[in-house]
Structure 1
Amino acid sequence: MPHQLLARIAALLLALVPALILATPASAYWEYGHQTVAKIAYAEVRATTRAKLNALLRHGALLGTPECPVSDMASASTWADCIKPLKDAAGKARFGYAYNWHFQNVDICKPFDLKTPCADGNCVSAQIIRQQARLADRSLPLADRIQALAFLTHFVGDLSQPLHAGDRHDLGGNKVTASYGVIAGRANLHMIWDGYLAERSISTPPGGVMGLIRSTPRSERRALVAGEVTDWSRDSWRVSHDSAYGAMFADPCVETKGPRPVMDEAMVQRLIPVARRQVVAGGLRLAKLLDAALR
């Protein structure tokens, strides 16, 4: 084969790499993202906290959800999503009461306000506080504390996903049709941040739990865990405005009609550090809450 033809083929393949990477199927955030947040927390908690976590997780079967087993922090992190379709003897959603606990619809185009969306306690930040208190309460049955651990682990991950923390009255971006590279179809903004962008960001070198932690300067790690749940809610809400919506629209608060927005490779590269930060923040904040609950 002539050298010139080989060179042309190589150049074509190199040009296709970004599009092929963008088109790679991604695990949903509830799986890859949540598990990574949980693993970071497990690596960062005190040794005494880790021992207490292990003691609790050995009794995961007490949850009574064999369809959704819990045996370690990774499986605990996805339990709250796994149980959603489970039914009771009457055919009703067994955990339907927890549906609204995964998010909070805080308007990104108005001053930050948790009082209205969390008035009844049925929002993610309120449940983080509640589940941490239940985990810390040694008077509760062991099964209740294990459930609290699973809920807490999952909800801190949810709060770290910016579209669970702030939106434009569009179900956290689920109503915002968008394309991820060549992937269009039924893709939407929430799906992109839950899956495609999450997987790309977490797996970008230096990947893995220690890669994510060590690539975050200590000063930034200290800043990420400063404050409390309300501060972390405001932080994710701001990321939702500035990056989740801000990257796709010239003005995040002005709905525009026209071609569906596309998250291309250049935009992905700009957002990878943002998405990685959110995962690290979730893990470090969860570690702080676990250390406080199990001290």
Structure 2
Amino acid sequence: MIRALLPLLAAIAALLPSPAFAYWEYGHETVAQIAYRNVKPQTRVAIQRMLARSSMLETPECPARTIEEASVWADCLKKLGPRFSYTSSWHYQNVNVCKPFDLKSACRDGNCVSAQVERDMKLLKDPKVPLRERIQALAFLIHFVGDLHMPLHAGDHDDLGGNRVRAAYGIYAPERLNLHSVWDGWLAERAISTPPSLVRLYPQAERTPIMAGTVEEWSRESWTIARDVTYATALGGDPCGPTPQRVRLDEATIERLVDPSRLQVVRGGLRLARLLDEALG
């Protein structure tokens, strides 16, 4: 039934505007919802109290009244022009998958996603920081942990995280589609929509190993997935091989990528929960 509807769905999708948000709204909102379900009760109360004061951010075009709204706030800022243009490089880190992992070079002066996650944690933990800045740090943290777990925000093949690689997603292949937008949106939405729901309270035995580690270790993990899964799949097994004129992900390939994509969303959500508990709980 689903296969029979694919041509119709592709035709409808072709009429839609290209996605405006990194990891799309669905991906970021799901990461945030997983975190919200798995934080301590006192952390949940603290989040609610802070976001209830989010009007202090003075971004009425980009509300952050709920954790779902906060999860896409950092992307919404892009439409505000020069006011927040300095944050554009905070959403990713272009660490070359064909060279040894080198986060330091990719994060000069703190202008990368992992450095901003650590910065936001310091601001949130410090009660001496003005409330407005802590609310902003909270919204940024919720978003950037999601970005860190999208592999093409963590790994690069001299192609701006797949943005320069034209791609076909099943039968859907408009000119504007690229490898980054496939993983950022189409694949993420398919993965999240695949049952069972990812938004649930995870048992401690399942949470503990996922929540372990440092931000740098999570960065290396996402970078490894970019190399061994994202690029290896797209480039015929060799992540450092030549890039074809257009990468083609057929239905069988897409089905194989659903589980790795789902796992990254879960990791992002549970690790965000850990960070929020550390900062606010």
Alignment TM-score, normalising by the size of structure 1: 0.87
1:58 match: 52
Aligned match of 1:232 in 218, 233, 239? 218
Separation in 2 of the partners of 1:52 and 1:173? 38
Q: Which amino acid aligns with 1:209?
A: V
2:84 match: 95
1:90 match: none
Aligned match of 1:282 in 242, 264, 268? 268
Do the aligned partners of 1:22 and 1:265 also contact (CA within 8 Å) in 2?
Answer: no
1:187 match: 177
The one-character-per-residue Cα deviations of 1:27-73 (angstroms, maximum 9, x if unpaired) are 65231100000111011000111111111011010000000011110
User: How far has the Cα of 1:291 moved from its partner?
Assistant: 0.5
Separation in 2 of the partners of 1:14 and 1:96? 41
The gaps in structure 2 that reach 5 residues or longer are: none
Q: Which amino acid aligns with 1:97?
A: Y
1:155 match: 144
Q: Which amino acid aligns with 1:246?
A: A
The one-character-per-residue Cα deviations of 1:174-204 (angstroms, maximum 9, x if unpaired) are 0000100111122100010111101100011
Q: Which amino acid aligns with 2:187?
A: L
Structure 1 residue 41 corresponds to structure 2 residue 35: yes
Do the aligned partners of 2:150 and 2:184 also contact (CA within 8 Å) in 1?
Answer: yes
Aligned match of 2:242 in 249, 255, 262? 255
The structure that has the greater radius of gyration is: 1
Structure 1 residue 72 corresponds to structure 2 residue 66: yes
User: How far has the Cα of 1:23 moved from its partner?
Assistant: 6.5
The one-character-per-residue Cα deviations of 1:68-123 (angstroms, maximum 9, x if unpaired) are 01111000000000011214xxxxx0011111100000001111111101121100
1:137 match: 126
User: How far has the Cα of 1:172 moved from its partner?
Assistant: 0.8
Do the aligned partners of 1:156 and 1:286 also contact (CA within 8 Å) in 2?
Answer: yes
Aligned match of 1:106 in 66, 81, 95? 95
The gaps in structure 1 that reach 5 residues or longer are: 1-12, 88-92
Indicate the SS of the match to 2:104.
coil
Separation in 1 of the partners of 2:241 and 2:34? 37
Q: Which amino acid aligns with 1:175?
A: R
Do the aligned partners of 2:63 and 2:73 also contact (CA within 8 Å) in 1?
Answer: yes
Q: Which amino acid aligns with 1:119?
A: R
CA 1:111–1:220: 2 relative to 1, 3 Å: farther
Separation in 1 of the partners of 2:190 and 2:2? 18
Identity across the alignment (%): 53
User: How far has the Cα of 1:221 moved from its partner?
Assistant: 3.2
Do the aligned partners of 2:170 and 2:254 also contact (CA within 8 Å) in 1?
Answer: no
1:4 match: none
CA 1:151–1:22: 2 relative to 1, 3 Å: same
The one-character-per-residue Cα deviations of 1:117-158 (angstroms, maximum 9, x if unpaired) are 112110000000001111111111111100000000100000
Indicate the SS of the match to 1:48.
helix
Do the aligned partners of 1:22 and 1:180 also contact (CA within 8 Å) in 2?
Answer: no
Do the aligned partners of 2:179 and 2:247 also contact (CA within 8 Å) in 1?
Answer: no
Do the aligned partners of 2:167 and 2:173 also contact (CA within 8 Å) in 1?
Answer: yes
CA 1:256–1:81: 2 relative to 1, 3 Å: closer
Indicate the SS of the match to 1:179.
strand
Separation in 2 of the partners of 1:229 and 1:247? 26
